[in-house]
Amino acid sequence: MKHLQFAVCALLAAAAFLSAGESPSLNPALPTLFIAGDSTAARNSGAPVQGWGEPFAGFFNLSKINIANRAVGGRSSRTFITAGHWDQMLAEVKTGDFVLIQFGHNDGGAINEEPPESKLPLRARGTLPGLGEESQTIDNVVTKKAEVVHTFGWYLRKMIADTRAKGAIPILLSLTPRNLWRDGKIERGSGSYREWIRDLALSAGIEFIDATRIGADRYQALGQEKAAEYFGGDPVHSNTAGAELNAASVVAGLKGIRRGPQFGAFLSEKGQAIEAGFPDELNPPAPESTQKSPSMP
């Protein structure tokens, strides 16, 4: 029953995004900060689900930088590419822009179909686990076409390479925290995605924003009962308050970048007030971060 509720919530989030209207035109004279992600970042209805990309612009001075939220509900790294959303966004990217890349919540789903007992709709959006070069050829039950499915790392490496080819700067983000607790401590990893994303960023020589750790620290300080008020009815999707908290966590991560691009000059007064969240080598993950639960769609 819980899985069905999660599926319904994800579908509603996707529908809300599609009906939200077009984004404002980008000022070509300014750099643009793009967001590529799923419903945890997407522009949703706000009742009860809202992604962090919606309040994110409020932390920036929009006379100095464009904020372009191109996240789409229900997408994995694979289906963001195969459905054409990546190429559509990439066509807007120019030299000097930035691309925030955050996927994983949906990558642990079925490669081609859900098991019959799950009662979930066919989605065929999962990726092969890990960062390797393995692949699997399928006849996609949704698109009715042959498809070669790759690993999670393969799709992210493609996004990184494509972004660099446009003269823009890719930045990888770990996932938004889920409202799952054990022994009074909030989860600090969705399966192995946090570690995979961090390792990929290190190997690619790009910046990594640990949105999982920064956000989990904030929820942990609130406590389990209070933290539940920041979610939209399931453990994955935030409401408007949670979207604001997650957006602030991403801004904190951007401010914590030491050797890469600096965003201080682009921030609004609200953004300047956010305390920097430093990367793991300066602020190691809490011990409970090693406790993982299975990935959830």
Q: What are the CA-CA distances from residue 62 to residues 70, 94, 127, 145, 215 (Å)?
A: 17, 17, 36, 42, 25
Kindly state the DSSP code that residue 66 receives in the 8-state scheme: E
User: Over the stretch 189-239, which tens digit does the pLDDT of each residue have?
Assistant: 888 999 999 999 999 999 999 999 999 999 999 999 999 999 998 999 999
Residues 6+ positions from 154 with CB-CB distance below 8 Å: 127, 128, 131, 132, 133, 135
Q: How many CB atoms lie within 10 A of CB 35?
A: 25
Residues 6+ positions from 173 with CB-CB distance below 8 Å: 37, 100, 101, 102, 197, 208, 209, 211, 250, 253
Q: Mean per-residue pLDDT for 233-260?
A: 95
CA dihedral 37, 41, 42, 45 (to 10 degrees): 160
Q: Is the pLDDT of residue 283 over 60?
A: no
User: Over the stretch 87-138, which tens digit does the pLDDT of each residue have?
Assistant: 999 999 999 999 999 999 999 999 997 666 666 667 899 999 999 999 999 9
CATH of 2-20+31-290, one of 3.40.50.1110, 3.40.718.10, 1.20.140.160, 3.20.20.70: 3.40.50.1110
Tell me which residue has tokens 């054409």.
Answer: 84
User: Over the stretch 37-95, which tens digit does the pLDDT of each residue have?
Assistant: 999 999 886 678 999 999 999 999 999 999 999 999 999 999 999 999 999 999 999 99
* Confidence (pTM): 0.86
**Residue 290: predicted pLDDT:** 37
**Residue 7: predicted pLDDT:** 39
| Tokens read off for 46 | 């706000």
Phi-psi map region of 100: left, alpha, beta (phi>0 left; psi -120 to 50 alpha): beta
In the chain, domain spans: 2-20+31-290
- How many whole angstroms separate alpha carbon 70 and alpha carbon 81? 12
Phi, psi of 148 (to 5 degrees): -95, 115
**Residue 13: predicted pLDDT:** 39
